[in-house]
Amino acid sequence: MNHEILLLNSTRKIFKEIGGNDTFPVCVEIHPTDKCNQHCHYCFHRSLGFGKEKGNIKFLTTSDYVIIFAEMSRIGVQNLSISGGGEPFMAGNLFNILQLALNNNLNVRVVTNGSVGVMSDLRMLEELVKCDEIRFSVDSTKPDVYSALRNVPESHLFRVFENIKKFNRLS
């Protein structure tokens, strides 16, 4: 909720400064991948991603993010949300994306299902601690319900809990 309040207050301040003309976004949301390790019944991607049936998948490179984040900083956009049409931690370059965003003094928020093994990487966790917000998406604390909703083994929920604990120990 703090993220949304920050954005609302930032938006109000910008509107006052520019007299009602909203010329730049307050927050940019990126989706570094459309791949996901879960198959949620309610997700329109269903872990398939966009364009897979046509074979035209292309994601931004780390070099692309260098340009985007520098431009965001230049025009005064301070807030970045990393979420997606998939699980952000499935993107091979997420560590680099986080470093670039933080080096450009962006307020970073990450939304994750929290069950990807890369969250066990200490370097990744140390970068995540520098972020303003990490949002773990958990539909239920009951393993059978979680498993049924996300169409994954019940063990995914326990992995999420372990990743949350690891993150909290560092923060």
Strand order in the sheet with 79-82: 27-30, 79-82, 107-112, 133-136
DSSP 72-106: HHHHT--EEEE--SS-GGGSTTHHHHHHHHHHTT-
pLDDT attached to residue 170: 80
Domain ranges of the chain: 25-170
pLDDT digits (tens, 9 = 90+) for 45-76: 655 555 555 455 678 889 999 999 999 988 88
Distance CA 42, CA 150 (A): 8
Sign of the dihedral through C-alpha 102, 105, 106, 110: positive
Structure-block tokens of residue 165: 């604990």
pLDDT tier for residue 4 given thresholds of 50, 70 and 90: low
Alpha helix (H) residue ranges in the chain? 2-18, 62-75, 94-103, 122-129, 143-150, 155-170
pLDDT tier for residue 104 given thresholds of 50, 70 and 90: very high
Mean of the pLDDT values across residues 162-167? 88
Distance CA 84, CA 119 (A): 17
Q: Report domain 25-170's class.
A: alpha beta
Q: Which residue reads 């601690």 in tokens?
A: 129
pLDDT attached to residue 50: 52
pLDDT attached to residue 142: 96
Q: Which residue reads 């692309």 in tokens?
A: 64
